[in-house]
Structure 1
């Protein structure tokens, strides 16, 4: 059963990567171009004031980066997320073995939880930045802080699910879900306050461009997780129906 779920997750992640790339190429690429142009203008102005003229030659053209590089990276990320999602889904299904639950609903709920824990909560602490925002000296620290936020969010979400499933038998599903969500939010608020904050938007950077880039980045993540959840929700009952007879009932 686990192999089927992982295969389905990889396929769903591949589809999600394609959808995410299409959105990024349509919506994010123009914003990145505007940000790069702004950064180059600032760099040229600084060079003119300082009397220095440094010219960097790109190894790959911007067109290659926007099309080939972005496509490969986005689809690969979708496949990786799909595989990790499949592992989480298999663990959730194992914990629900013997209970009557809709496979489609479980898959959709797991995808929604993944979107919140992997994308939304880390985004609230460390929103995506376009080129030209952020100091090069703090790039390593910012990356480390973001990865710590993601890891903490995933670990806390997993713990919240485990605790919620155990509490559901004692206090009911609704109360257990509310307690788990409250605990998750409390822990993640503490983590966000403990990690360093970075406020490095350069003076004069277009506020509308920054807001559009951040919103589009989050929408792209939402599309990826929605596609992954939709593909899995539709196909999971068909893939696992023979193997889950009498264990987890597939919803129709």
Structure 2
């Protein structure tokens, strides 16, 4: 793949990331923010400390949220586009559109779902401030582990395919992914810092909305970027020129 194609895919990836970020922003605003407000209300009702807000809650839930999500969408879109350039043609004989969807699904699983199941997102009022540094480090460690493991089992599946066939090689790769992920879950420490009186419904809905936002983000990116990549790499043949219209004299 030449540098011009990589550059064009990078630009399209960032545009697709921006479009996906807009959809994720809507999902975050309508699904996530109501649960954040409920968690903040719980925290305010049970806290005796009065902290001065640097930014108002309305600014955080609108301008701050939009800035964070859209910048994240553009950044991850560019990174995903570069990963796509490497993966295209190496993971199987898939079309550019199918490769984009496959990459998005695998990235969602490896980079978000794997660490999320071990260290799920917590709303305000949940979590000990003294352990936030350790929890953040372990979360990013799980992200790195998931990404490297996804690459490793993909290589494993391709090497096993000539001997086992595509189906059983895929089964073996998925099984290896599940076993190694389970081992990591068992070895890494867990944190149970949810207050006993915190509403379980709010916690469940917050975590479900956090997962839903990521599904929207990655799913939209896969669809949009896949279409843009398909048009770039497999352009449609130009339509045959139509014969000029014949003017009939009156």
Report how far residue 24 of structure 1 moved: 0.6
In structure 1, what is the equivalent of residue 81 of structure 2?
A: 86
Q: Unaligned 5+ residue runs, structure 2?
A: 236-250
For 1:100 and 1:227, locate their aligned partners in 2 and report how far apart those are by CA, in whole Å: 23
Per-residue CA shift, 1:214-236, capped at 9, x if unaligned? 00110111000110010022221
Which of 217, 222, 240 is the aligned partner of 2:215? 222
The residue correspondences of 1:21-36 to structure 2 (distance < 5 A) are 21-36=25-40
In structure 1, how many angstroms separate the alpha carbons of the residues matched to 2:52 and 2:17? 35
2:248 maps to none
| TM-fit CA distance, 1:100 | 4.1
Q: Is the 8 A contact 1:14 1:75 kept in 2?
A: yes
Cα-to-partner distance string for 1:181-225 (whole Å, 9 max, x where unaligned): 111111111112111100000110000000000001101110001
Structure 1 partner of 2:241: none
Secondary structure of 1:168 counterpart = helix
CA 1:169/1:92 → structure 2, altered by over 3 Å: closer, same or farther? farther
The structure with more radius of gyration: 2
Matched with 1:5 is 9
The yes-or-no answer on 1:66 pairing with 2:61 is yes
Count of aligned pairs: 231
Contact 1:4–1:240 under 8 Å retained in 2: no
Do the aligned residues in 2 keep the contact of 1:149 with 1:192 (CA within 8 Å)?
no
Q: Say whether the 8 Å CA contact 1:27–1:216 is kept in structure 2.
A: yes
The partner residue of 2:189 within 193, 196, 211 is 196
Relative to structure 1, is the Cα distance of residues 6 and 169 closer, same or farther in structure 2, using a 3 angstrom cutoff?
Answer: farther
TM-score by length of 2: 0.88
Q: C-alpha separation between the residues in 2 aligned to 1:88 and 1:193?
A: 30
2:157 aligns to what? 164
Counterpart-to-counterpart distance in 2, 1:22 and 1:215: 15
**d(CA) in 2 for partners of 1:63 and 1:181?**
44
SS in 2 for 1:172: helix
Separation in 1 of the partners of 2:108 and 2:94? 21
> Which of 236, 239, 252 is 2:229 aligned to?
236
Distance in 2, matches of 1:5 and 1:187, equals 33
Tell me by how many angstroms 1:94 deviates: 4.7
Higher mean Cα deviation, 1-10 or 155-164?
Answer: 1-10
In the alignment, structure 1 segments of 5+ residues that lack a partner are 48-53, 243-252
1:41 equivalent among 31, 39, 45: 45
Counterpart Cα distance in 2 of 1:166 and 1:86: 25
1:247 match: none
Instruction: Give per-residue Cα distances to partners, 1:50-86, cap 9 Å, x unaligned.
Output: xxxx432111111111111111111111122212211
